[in-house]
Amino acid sequence: MEALKLQPVITAFSVFGVFVCIVLTYYALVNLFKSFPRIRSKKDKEAIMDEDADAHHHVETYTGEPNIKLFWWVFLASDCMFFGSLITAYLIYKGQSLVGPYPLDVFDMELTTISTFILLLSSFFMVLTLSSIQKGDLGKFRFWCFSTFLCGLTFLGFQVYEFEHFIHEGLRLKTNLFGSTFYLLTGTHGVHVAIGVLWLLGMFIYSFWGGITKERAIEVEIAGLYWHFVDVVWIVIFSVIYLMELPIGG
Amino acid sequence: MSGHGPKLALPKFLSFLRNRPTKENGLVSWLTTVDHKRIGILYLYTSFFFLFVGGIEALFVRTQLSANDLEIFVGSTYNQLVTMHATTMIFLAIMPLAAAFFNFMIPLQIGARDVAFPRLNAFSYFMYLAGGIVLNASWFMGGASDVGWFAYAPLTSSTYSPTHGVDFWILGLILTGISSTVAAINFIVTIINMRAPGMTLMKMPVFSWMAFVTAFLLAFALPVITIALIILFMDRNYGTTFFQTAAGGDPILWQHLFWVFGHPEVYIIVLPAFGIVSEIIPVFSKKPLFGYKLVVLSGAAIGFMGFTVWSHHMFTVGMGPIVNSAFSITTAAIAIPTGVKIFNWILTLWNGKIKFSVPMMYATALVFLFMVGGFSGLMHGAAASDFQQHDTYFVVAHFHYTILGGGLFGFLAGTVYWLPKFFGKIMDEERGRKIFWWIFASFNLTFFPMHFLGTGGMPRRIYTYSADMEWTALNGFITLASFVLGITLLVFFIEVIKAVKSKNKASADPWDARTLEWSIPSPPPVYNFADLPKVEKVDEFWESKISNKPIKTLPRDPHGIHMPGKSWMPLITSVGLMLASFGAIYQSDLRYIGLGIFLLAYYGWALEGDAEYYLPYPKKGKK
């Protein structure tokens, strides 16, 4: 497959993404300091809990946690084994490639560090997304939800650019074991991010149909769980694949 | 139907999603059902069907081996039969048989109206069916996989297995893997969240407990095999070199990944059967289960330790004495919790008023047969001894004693024991006993002589042997016995169907049993419990019978009985994924069509919502 000529577009898009992220971070920080929860009296808390109880007509669960939240916790635990197997395969084959290019020939640490930063930043935005819908502020929810979505999309843009670049350098899926394990592991993570991005976009659109409300904040919460998990996994992958290549002691 | 629940917000062009199927009878009602009892019955019948298919394959294998130098099924045909026999039996017959009981019994045992995610439950069933179809379609589309059920690399590479057989096998297993993972998570959430008030984990029936442990095993073991299968698929179709030594890859990685899944799989098969036996033995001994806590904890211990023993399948690959010794020790250690269970069952029998009804006969047979399999397992659990037994008929005898003697006998026990709950009908006791003795005898006559063949040096998976090996007489005998076993098993299932069609109506509690599922009518109404129970003790139903006090119940919901709405989406998503699998095998555009169908149905699923509705309560006092 001939490398697509997407490079300029992606570069432009990425720069734009970084810019957007910086602006959003500023807003996020301002918002965070504004909205620190005031200390509530016990009476206030009880009133809030009653309100919650009225809002939920659902069948009570044994633990009090919603089923869907437990589902995602268990699913993510299962997903850990999924990534665990891939990381195992990567580590077993680390340094076993018979032909180049080898990791340090192709890696651009600065670029990947920026994209990592953007993905981690999106986790912060996700927290704000959830917090705003829990307060019932639909406008802010849309804003942060879309920001998280943009960050995710930017990360994917960086990944596509990176893959393009690697292929240009001669590292393909079947070139060597490094190529196979690298593309499979980061690709699987990329698919997870892509699913998350679709999910966020879905929620964003759904909020205009009236589907996202304060009472259904749990829907946003589970999306957040998933999104944070995908970020945490990326920290592991980034450490295993990129940071471990850095020469020790500078 | 009355009092619809809250509706999800939908724009006009999607409002057709609100039209949910409501048929109560006929084919459509089964295709759109979300009722855990109906899904349980679907699982039961489908796994019976695949048990039949796998049995036929086994008998073909035995026919070829019945005498020396036969040439009925040779070469690849024979290998396909061996591979598909194992794959069908494990993934399409025994595991779903356990799932049938999980589906039907867990909500009843824990006092719930349904599982946590009813539509997802239907999806699990259809995915299992899709996996079964993909696996078996290979017979008609250029031949099935012929690389053995554990499909060792590099035999599976496109060099040595150029046909699509292995691809069908990979995709079929990925589909059943999705089915099992989703079902496992569903059951975990159901058990954690849907228990009746007061039923703490240590007051839960043992069968539900073992299902809980099994579900965790599934959730953590299946991702590993899924990755292994994906890697293998990429090696075969996209030119990667994970298992190609020429490019630096390592075929042993496949073995590790496979057995990290493969050994927990053994406990996935046998723990549900243990759970069933732990239900049946106390009922027919008229005693509480001896050491309830120990039985539960040993089950959990088996679950944990099941992940620490995988390399005992690989003693002969040359991992070195230290690794071999370590895995020998963990393997010996896992016998301890298993032994704890067996002693607890025996002590439950001790001094009990034992009644040998048919379920009890299968259950006690399991205790004996699993011990035989366990002891031979300990023998090749010792690495030094395993070098003699590896890949011989001794191993074949061992795993048939554990998987049939341990797994299948438990599920046969469960089938007879819970048939009244499934269908409201009871099996004929006299004929049941006779069938039991035929199955028990022919099972032992089939598989016990394999120990001798194995120690005599006969390797597994060979399609023929010469007369001077002196294996002919025993093999002929085994083949004869295996046909008797096959026929008696068939008679058993005909007997089940006869019982279902018969007029032997069962009472709500025909065995004088102990757990909550027997406190409601047989078969249970669609909502299971009109009044949700409150639980205070282990064996709450038994306690309420002897103290002559009815089980306490929760106050009724003013809206009515809360029910989940039926849906087409589980079926359509599964069909989409099945088409995508066929497309992936042939690298055709069908995969995009399949994925498109899947995605559309997936969004439909999300947007249509639970569509909960409320049924009116039955009159109080009326059962």
The pLDDT-based confidence of A48 (bands split at 50, 70, 90) is very low
Chain A residues with beta carbon closer than 8 angstroms to that of B260: 85
Tell me what pLDDT residue B47 has: 96
- Give me the domains of chain B, ranges plus CATH numbers: 32-549 (1.20.210.10)
Instruction: Give yes or no: B581 in active site.
Output: no
Q: Is the ipTM of this complex over 0.90?
A: yes
Catalytic residue among B35, B57, B114, B279: B114
Instruction: Give yes or no: B313 in active site.
Output: yes
Give yes or no for residue B455 having a pLDDT over 50.
yes
Residue B11 forms contact with A (CB below 8 Å): yes
Least confident of A7-11, B343-347, B417-421: A7-11
Give yes or no for residue B298 having a pLDDT over 50.
yes
pLDDT, chain A, mean: 82
Residue B406, amino acid:
G
Residue B325 forms contact with A (CB below 8 Å): no
User: H or E segment at B344?
Assistant: helix B321-349
Residue B243 forms contact with A (CB below 8 Å): no
Residue A77 forms contact with B (CB below 8 Å): yes
Catalytic residue among B179, B376, B442, B567: B179
Tell me what pLDDT residue B610 has: 79
Q: Are B419 and B426 in contact (CB under 8 A)?
A: yes
Instruction: Give yes or no: B331 in active site.
Output: no
Best interface-test mutation with A: which of B240, B554, B600, B614 has the largest number of A CBs within 10 A? B240
Q: Would you kindly state where each structural domain of chain A is located, as residue ranges?
A: 69-245
Chain B residues with beta carbon closer than 8 angstroms to that of A92: 250, 253
Most confident of A34-43, B191-200, B555-564: B191-200
Is A69-245 assigned to CATH 1.20.120.80? yes
Give yes or no for residue A2 having a pLDDT over 80.
no
Q: How far is CA A39 from the centre of its chain?
A: 31
Residue A210 forms contact with B (CB below 8 Å): yes
Residue B201 forms contact with A (CB below 8 Å): no
Average pLDDT estimate for B226-235: 95
Q: Are B360 and B354 in contact (CB under 8 A)?
A: yes
Torsion of Cα atoms, B27 then B31 then B32 then B33, to 10°? 90
Inter-chain touch A67–B219, beta carbons under 8 Å = no
Instruction: Give yes or no: B180 in active site.
Output: yes
Instruction: Give yes or no: B451 in active site.
Output: no
Q: Which residues contact B507 (CB under 8 A, 6 or more apart)?
A: B420, B522
Nearest C-alpha of chain A: how many angstroms from B148?
23
Q: How many helices (H) and strands (E) does chain A have?
A: 8, 0
User: H or E segment at B370?
Assistant: helix B358-381
Structure tokens belonging to residue A198: 């679709």
pLDDT over 90, % of chain A: 59
Residue B115 forms contact with A (CB below 8 Å): no
Inter-chain touch B223–A82, beta carbons under 8 Å = yes
Per-residue 3-state assignment (H helix, E strand, C coil) for B135-200: HHHHHHCCCCCCCCCCCCCCCCCCCCCCCCHHHHHHHHHHHHHHHHHHHHHHHHHHHHHCCCCCCC
End-to-end Cα separation, chain B, in angstroms: 20
Residue B257 forms contact with A (CB below 8 Å): yes
Would you mind telling me the total number of residues written for chain B in this entry? 623
Digit-coded pLDDT (tens) for A154-203 = 999 999 999 999 999 999 998 899 999 999 999 999 999 999 999 999 99
Chain B residues with beta carbon closer than 8 angstroms to that of A181: 242
Q: How many CB pairs under 8 A join A and B?
A: 113
Tell me what pLDDT residue A49 has: 47
| Phi, psi dihedral angles at B574 (to 5 degrees) | -65, -40
The pLDDT-based confidence of B17 (bands split at 50, 70, 90) is confident
The pLDDT-based confidence of A55 (bands split at 50, 70, 90) is very low
Digit-coded pLDDT (tens) for B137-183 = 999 999 999 999 999 989 999 999 999 999 999 999 999 999 999 99
Catalytic residue among B267, B393, B465, B568: B267
Instruction: Give yes or no: B341 in active site.
Output: yes
